[in-house]
Amino acid sequence: MSRKYFGTDGVRGLVGEYPITPEFAMKLGYAAGRVLAAAGKRGDGEHAAVLVGKDTRVSGYLLEAALQAGFNAAGVDVYLTGPLPTPGVAYLTRALRLSAGVVISASHNPYYDNGIKFFGAGGKKLPDDVELAIEAAIDEAQPCVGSKQLGKARRVSDAAGRYIEFCKSTFPNDFDLRGLKLVIDCAHGATYQVAPHVFHELGAEVITIGDKPNGFNINEEVGATHVETIRKAVLAEGADYGIALDGDGDRLIMVDGDGTIIDGDMLLFAVARYRAERGTLGGGVVGTLMTNLGVENGLKARGIAFARAKVGDRYVLEKLQENGWVLGGEGSGHLLSLDRHSTGDGIISALQVLEAVIEQGKTLSALCDELTLSTQVLKNVRIAKGFDCHASSAIKAKVTEAETAMGSEGRVLLRPSGTEPVVRVMVEHTDAGVASRWGEAIAQIVASEASAE
């Protein structure tokens, strides 16, 4: 079944436009409260309870109040954390034995966007069938429970401190960060009260940027989507590494001391290589359809199994669980280590990378020295609504021609967008010229076939 409101990471959109309105948020809170509470009460014994956290967008106040009203009207208690990273909400949901966790955030998007996403009782993202049940409940009647059954709300005053200690607990007890100078970019987002303390308390000298949120500057020229900012800071400060997080703290990009930018694909390879050498990999590695071919080839050259999931960290998680593995990630910087946390966590992922650096006595760039990334050419081709690029014999023929010509050194991926009328054409090859030529050829045939419909 197709989903009406939920995308790959919850409900998201422009604040004030449906569905990111207070009216819809209240309905969503009520519906989610009913569906999630039905799975078993987890709270004070009388009511089910959920945790609600948010990033630093000004609209978080509005959506938080509306969600709380919906949950309370459904007879569900609400624990409010205030600004807290998405993985922090996942952790506390599990630690407090609650029915669900809710995060009000649009991740790396600008302040005028916002979203609402959920974690189940175990701190893992909701499966599709639960989201579909919530969607169905939104459109049903929503009578308020009686006064005796109304839910309550309370603040979790020590949420940030609890999460800081959890992050530190994932770092080996016999390791510390003394002697390292780090630049931490909090993207003016949810990690600003957390990330600097984690790295400082483990012994590092910490220089923090992007730590002055005002409700409007989240992700603005800072964070994991604007890495040139932290790159300049690392070089100016003479730091060993830069750690760039995104607005809700589940994404990570790093910078080496020489200014080299290390993206999610490279970080995934570095951690996988380190774990394989230590015998702690726990099976293979999961990437996505967009993971660079160089990562797959580099891992297989070291005898490490590799599998691809659909794009989105929720699908990486599903594939990891299906295979019984623990390590996966995306090029955008979402890394999952299921033996450390139930969801992707930028801070914990950075600690894993620093653990590898310290243990092996190598720079981060050196940990990636066996990785040769391919060139990825990406083109968005506008199409008419309903056009199926995979049904066109002409497109199929051109893709087959390209794949035959490129052999094992390249690949083609066509992905219809789930949010706009475009087909995303990706051609990858070890030779940039080859990737560019085939990317243009396939984009042209897609455009021609789409216009002929």
- Cα(129)–Cα(184) distance, integer angstroms: 38
Among residues 58, 39, 57, 59, the alpha carbon closest in space to that of 48 is found at: 39
349 is catalytic: no
Amino acid at 70: G
Among residues 272, 275, 278, 280, the alpha carbon closest in space to that of 297 is found at: 272
3-class DSSP assignment, residue 348: helix
- Cα(133)–Cα(418) distance, integer angstroms: 20
Q: Among residues 59, 107, 349, 392, which one is catalytic?
A: 107
Tally Cβ neighbours within 10 Å of residue 358. Answer: 17
Interior/surface letters 386-411, b for 16+ CB within 10 angstroms, e for the rest: ebebeebeebeebbeebeeebeeebb
Residue 286 buriedness (CB in 10 A; 0-12 / 13-18 / 19+): buried
128: tokens are: 């599709």
Q: Name, in order, each residue with C-beta under 8 angstroms of 282's C-beta and a sequence gap of 6 or more.
A: 275, 325, 326, 327, 339
Q: Are strands 113-119 and 11-14 parallel, antiparallel or unpaired?
A: antiparallel
Residue 9 per-residue DSSP state = T
Interior/surface letters 143-175, b for 16+ CB within 10 angstroms, e for the rest: eebeeeeebbeeebeebbebbbebbbebbeeee
Q: Name, in order, each residue with C-beta under 8 angstroms of 306's C-beta and a sequence gap of 6 or more.
A: 284, 285, 286, 287, 295, 296, 299, 300
3-class DSSP assignment, residue 358: helix
406-411, Cβ contacts within 8 angstroms, sequence gap of 24 or more: 406/434, 406/438, 409/374, 410/293, 410/374, 410/434, 410/435, 410/438, 411/293
- Cα(411)–Cα(247) distance, integer angstroms: 33
Residue 202 and residue 168 in contact, taking contact as beta carbons nearer than 8 Å:
yes
- Helical (H) or strand (E) element with 307: strand 306-309
Spell out the alpha helix ranges (H) of 8-101. Answer: 22-37, 60-73, 86-95
Which residues are tagged catalytic? Answer: 107
